[in-house]
Amino acid sequence: MKLSTFTSLICALIYLISCSVDQQKLPILGRMNIEGTDTILHKIPKFNFINQDSNYVTNQDLEPYIYVSDFFFISCPSICPLVKKQMLRVYEKYKDNPKIKMVSHTIDPKRDTPKKLSKYAEKLKIDTDKWMFLTGDKGEILDIADDYFVAAFEDADAPGGFDHSGKIILTDTKGHIRAFAEGTDSDDVTDFLKDIDLLLKEYE
């Protein structure tokens, strides 16, 4: 009995996998809510942050684009350099593609001022029209990390004072999360680049 349950589970899994391969379309991630007869899909709520040039950036600025985001802080001694190297791979691949933007949120707004973020971007040798660095109210930043399914919180015992995951997230033009990768894992990011290509096909 147990074996047959297991076998049917495996079959269902293979069916699901083959389905997603057939359709060649990324799923919309997150919990679905049913309100009356409407299905509400998870999406990034409205936000208003400040970029490296001290200009406001809201959802509306990102709406025409699909974008790749991560969370970091400048003085982060642990995983951030690894994640930034992978973000740089994404940047290098799509820097000439006008459909994509990149967004890095600092989780340490007290120390990572716009001026410092601007210097950081300069040292990273990237174009901030393409890849922006955002700061803002700490509560709002940590809240939006939740919406991206990224764990981020202050922790005096963690190296650098913050604990956070190194996820890289892909969001579509409607604010739905479509894929993510572990930013410390180069192989995972290789697959993620394929996911980005797949999402781009939806906008051709």
Partner 1 sequence: MPDGSGVNELYPSLNNLDQNSFNLSEMPCIIRNGLGNELSLIQMSGLEHLSEVEINNIVNYVLNDMNNLSLEFTIQQTEETLKDCSE
Binding site for partner 1 (CB under 8 A): 74-75, 77, 81-82, 84-85, 88, 111, 116, 119-120, 123-125, 159-160
Closest CB 204 distance from partner 1, rounded Å: 32
In whole angstroms, how far apart are CA 15 and each of 32, 52, 126? 22, 46, 42
Specify the residue, 82 or 198, whose C-beta has the smaller distance to partner 1.
Answer: 82
Beta carbon of residue 191, minimum distance to partner 1 (angstroms, whole number) = 20
Closest approach of partner 1 to the CB of residue 119, in Å: 5
| CA distances to 83, 131, 168, 181 from 158, in Å | 17, 27, 20, 22
Residue among 42 and 116 whose Cβ is closer to partner 1? 116
Residue closer to partner 1 by CB (options 73, 192) is 73
Compare residues 66 and 87 and give the one whose CB is closer to partner 1: 87
| CA–CA distance, 90 with 64 (Å, rounded to integer) | 19
Report the alpha-carbon distance of residue 108 to residue 136 in Å, rounded: 9
Q: How far is the CB of 17 from partner 1 (least distance, A)?
A: 32
Q: Does residue 114 sit in helix, strand or coil?
A: helix
Min dist. Cβ of residue 81 to partner 1 (A) = 5
27 or 159: CB nearest partner 1: 159
132 bridge partner residues: 103
CA–CA separation, 60 and 9 (whole Å): 43
Parallel/antiparallel/unpaired status of strands 131-134 and 100-106: parallel
